[in-house]
Amino acid sequence: MFVTQNWYCAAVSSELGDKPLSRKIINEDIALFRDEEGKAHALGARCAHRGGDLSKGKCVNSTLECPWHGWRYDKSGHCTHIPSMGNEGRVPRMAKVPSYPVHEQQGFIYVWMNAEVKPDWRPEPRPFLDAPYQVRFGSRHQKGIFVHTLETALEDSHVAFAHSASIGRDIECAQLPPITNITKSDDGRTVTGELIWPEGSKTAATPFKRWLGKLLVGSERDGNASDKRYWVDISGLTVHEYPKEGGYRYYVFAYTTPVDEFHNRFFVGLADSDPNRGLINRWLSKLLMSSVFKHFVFHEDEDMISSALSDQYPGGHPKALFVKADAMGMAYRRMYTAALYAEGKEPAWPPVGPRPGPVTQPEKEVEKAV
């Protein structure tokens, strides 16, 4: 089960050009296309005639044409032309497909996944997405349960272990401080938290690691440990924000969009608010980070997250034990689960937090642990 009255990241703007683009979001096949003015639209991808895949058709005069029999649909999802009926033929009123609201900003395309309910909010603009230095890795299709994937992105204890062959090499995290100041926004759609290292507890950096930090982040970070701020919003955006010298910030961000119960699509990138990084520094950072993340980090994450999938426990381990270090992930689970309950749905994964009706004893125990 997924929240439908929600914006999900469907594509990077540059992915959608003159041809339609196929996407599957929360089990729904979607066809994205641009009209003659360049505005993005999203329709249900199955033609009302024989179920042809509209994403494999073509754009004609701001309509989307089915590749099987040429039926054309406008941005509202209504069929406007059926070639086999001739110019005088009347298009049936039932000849239509779902039309989903679309919002495009800062290089990303978002789709509101409820064609029956108009959105009453839009994704919040993020200043870091306009940062002068950015590396974006495009999209990646990956196995894993949606909520589990978000939870993994919001905790650091796995880095030294699951990523021991890449970014986690030589990291000492036995004494990770807890995430504190966890705060939910007034609108209930964003959670933030902070990880602050106590004075004297950071691991000393070797000269090589200081040089590498200067290359990748543009800052000689104080050892393996770094203060940071976390963000996560209900649409699936996770952000790790690192402070730098001069008041600048370095960001690692990812949109996670559920494809179905067992797969997600990632849109991952890096951003730096420092406009003074040299061109050579930017180029080397982009080259190295692209190689490391694409060929190592994402695969390591997928190995870890997909291992939780099984026929016996399709929603993940039913008796998972949560501790205080999982607080950010649990905050997201509560936020998304509350949105599911508001739509009258039950989560596929073990819930944590308030729910309609009586609360069972095992759930109370999980609440105490968190």
pLDDT tens-digit readout, 91-125: 999 999 999 999 999 999 999 999 999 999 999 99
Nearest to 235, CA basis, from 27, 26, 40, 12: 26
146-153 vs 327-342: helix crossing angle, rounded to 10: 150
Pairing of strands 249-260, 263-272: antiparallel
DSSP string spanning 297-356?
Answer: IHHHHHHHHHTT--SS-TTS-TT----GGGHHHHHHHHHHHHHHHHTT---SSPP-S--S
| pLDDT score of 362 | 41
Kindly provide the residue ranges of all beta strands, DSSP E only, lying in the chain, ordered along the sequence: 7-12, 21-25, 28-34, 40-44, 58-60, 63-65, 72-73, 79-81, 99-100, 102-105, 108-112, 133-143, 179-184, 190-195, 228-233, 237-243, 249-260, 263-272
**Domain 7-112, CATH 3.90.226.30 — does that match?**
no
Residue ranges of the chain assigned to CATH 3.90.380.10: 128-306
| pLDDT score of 87 | 79
Average pLDDT, integer, range 7-32: 97
> Poorest-confidence range of 1-15, 233-247, 268-282, 313-327?
313-327
Strand order across the beta sheet in which 7-12 lies: 7-12, 108-112, 102-105
pLDDT over threshold 90, residue 68? yes
Alpha-carbon torsion (224, 225, 228, 231), positive or negative: positive
Average pLDDT over the chain, rounded to whole? Answer: 84
pLDDT over threshold 70, residue 347? yes
Residue ranges of the chain assigned to CATH 2.102.10.10: 7-112
| pLDDT score of 201 | 61
pLDDT over threshold 90, residue 83? yes
Alpha-carbon distance 49 to 95, whole Å?
Answer: 7
| pLDDT score of 361 | 41
| pLDDT score of 55 | 98
pLDDT over threshold 60, residue 366? no
How does pLDDT run across 184-228, given as a tens digit for each residue? 999 999 999 998 877 666 665 667 666 666 666 666 655 445 688
Average pLDDT, integer, range 271-300: 73
| pLDDT score of 7 | 98
pLDDT range class, residue 349, cuts 50, 70, 90 = confident
pLDDT over threshold 90, residue 179? no
Enumerate residues 6+ apart whose C-beta is below 8 A from 114. Answer: 4, 5, 6, 100
pLDDT over threshold 70, residue 306? yes
| pLDDT score of 370 | 37
Average pLDDT, integer, range 366-370: 40
| pLDDT score of 19 | 97
pLDDT range class, residue 26, cuts 50, 70, 90 = very high
Q: DSSP character for 164?
A: T
pLDDT range class, residue 358, cuts 50, 70, 90 = very low
| pLDDT score of 32 | 98
Q: Which residue has the higher pLDDT, 159 or 108?
A: 108
| pLDDT score of 98 | 98
Report the phi/psi class of residue 105: left, alpha or beta, with left for phi > 0 and alpha for psi in -120 to 50. beta
pLDDT range class, residue 288, cuts 50, 70, 90 = low
| pLDDT score of 213 | 67
- The three-state secondary structure class of 51 is coil
Average pLDDT, integer, range 172-185: 79
Q: Which amino acid is at 351?
A: P
How does pLDDT run across 219-265, given as a tens digit for each residue? 665 544 568 899 999 999 999 998 887 888 889 899 999 999 999 99
**Domain 128-306 -> CATH class:** alpha beta
